[in-house]
Amino acid sequence: MAEQGADGSSGGRSAVVAAGILISRLAGFARQRAVAYFFGTGPHADVFTFALRAPNILQNLLGEGTLSASFIPVYSRMLEEGREEEAGRLAGAIFGLLLAIAAGLALLGVIFAEPIVAVLAAGFLREEGAVSRFPLAVTAVRITFPMTGVLVLHAWALGVLNSHRRFLLPYVAPALWNGAIIAALVLAGQSLVAGAPGPDGATLSVATLDRLLVAACIGALAGGVIQFGVQVPLALRLLRGFRPSLSTRVAGVRQTISAFWPVVAGRGVVQVGAWVDLFLASFLAEGAVGVLSYAQLLYILPISLFAMSVAASELPELSRVLPGARDGALPAGTGRIEGSLRQIALLVVPTFVGYLVFGYLLVGAIYRTGSFGAASNLLVYGTLAAYTLGLPASASSRLFQNVFFALSDTRTPARIAAQRVLLAVAVAVPAMLALDRVTVGGETALRFGAAGLAVGSAVGAWYELLRLLRALGRRLESFRLPIGAFGRMLGTALGAAAVAALVWWALPELHPALTAVAVVGTYAGLYLLTARLLGFPELEAWLGRLSRRLRRLWRRG
């Protein structure tokens, strides 16, 4: 069943992608709530975060973002030209090459787990507490690193399915990965934990937490296999002439590779930034790595739902209409870009305001359980607020990066990404050191150093956006930012936030989750209602075509 609207517009496709991502992200929050319940913001939360993040560096280098930039444009153009057999052979060659590279690197990761941990998290080597994070991290990385190769192949399946305008399944599949981790923690917890953990995990011994950590890592490995496996049948049905190979002589392979390496270089720079964050956080007080993970999950949610969903659905279409626009103006292409940017901003702008005003409530509603107490709540909120300062820029940059990829220009965003990382690190280090002196929590004081890393990220995000806009202006002269639309969205969000803040003030003391539902629900409802009354066309792009699509699917079902 096709997943595109008859009009070829992006609204329905973006909504389908957003729906898939939302399901996966909700599963991600459920996973982090389980992690917070057992590990809180203690050393085991640090180690589990590192165990997922370290192999994730390899996955991001070879995976979704890289393939989206190099493989999808070439593959989509072959499909557009009716060369389906050649497209299938291209997919087979890329699959074989990725499999060989990912398997080899994953094996090296298992063998060299100790030096990997020593380099990426050098702070784990100098332990002062009762838990030694270094040997735990080595064990965890050896379990999770093979997962990397499987998740790289998930990115290949996503590229194939997106190019055929099948968006839902590849973005829902990560929910199964999260589900496997949750299942592993719950099953292990039932057998290992006699009672619920008290404040700071007091009822859980270090040995019990060690075993829970290993169980979670095994769940992550199993979940990666499941995530890829559910996509294989549909991908194979869509492919014609598919045959795995290692040949670089297949049509389109060399073109893909020529675009691939500059993107790997750009992604590599970003991964250097991620490594620097891990490296610096490992020297902060225990729990800083975990705090970053809790805050980043909320920060990434609107980028995934509202920016990546639009950017992902637009990349195949932009790859069809923009290649001829290397110089001068292309009104059809720039109009599509401006419309997509407004569509992103419609929901990112109120999220930006909402996180700053109501972020404490959201953090408490999601994570406040078991070992995750009031001090942890405040610490994660402070880090989230720092990240949020760069949210509009990060979200917009996702679209502009894909515009350059559609123009077969992977070098410009890679170069700008390198500059972003350098600036972010330069800002983050002094901010981190200054904020690590600020504490919360009395005798069990937690430190705000992680928020300093988030400040650096926010500054880097705005720099990247400004540089991308400047470069894009030289390529597409007719492109203009819809400043007026942004202003209307911001004003609407601030008005809705003022009313919701009054509701918060008037409410009696309730469970954090109930308070969050009442306040944030009021805020979101008022914003959407006002947007509808004011006739924001972007709201129709999100809701109108999706509702018609659901009605068509209902009639067909």
Mean pLDDT by 10 residues, the chain (557 residues): 40 65 84 88 88 74 66 82 86 88 85 90 74 89 87 82 79 89 91 56 73 94 90 87 83 80 64 74 78 88 81 68 50 72 91 95 88 84 94 90 78 85 90 79 64 91 93 79 90 96 92 90 94 85 59 52
Rounded-to-integer distance, Cα 202 and Cα 217, Å: 23
Q: Is 389 strand, coil or helix?
A: coil
- Please say whether the beta carbons of 262 and 408 come within 8 A: no
Could you tell me the CA-to-CA distances from 362 to 29, 252, 347, 381, 520 in Å, in that order? 11, 47, 17, 9, 8
- Rounded to whole angstroms, the Cα distance separating 204 from 201 reads 6
Q: What pLDDT was estimated at residue 2?
A: 37
What is d(CA 224, CA 318) in angstroms, rounded to the nearest whole number? 30
Torsion of CA 245, 247, 249, 253, to 10 degrees: 70
**What pLDDT sits at residue 155?**
79
Closest CA to 99 of 47, 133, 43, 148: 148
Using only C-alpha atoms, what is the Rg of the chain?
Answer: 23
Q: What is the pLDDT of residue 516?
A: 92
Residue 37 to residues 92, 240, 297, 384, 409, Cα–Cα distance (Å): 43, 47, 16, 19, 45
Cα separation, 69 vs 402, in Å, equals 7
CA distance 102 to 360: 40
What pLDDT is stored for residue 1 in this prediction? 35
pTM over 0.85: no
Phi-psi map region of 441: left, alpha, beta (phi>0 left; psi -120 to 50 alpha): left
Locate the domains of the chain by residue range: 11-550
Q: Strand pairing partners for 364?
A: none
User: φ and ψ at 164, to 5 degrees?
Assistant: -90, 15
Cβ contact 53:275 at 8 Å: no
pLDDT at 554: 55
Measured between its terminal Cα atoms, the distance across the chain in Å is 11
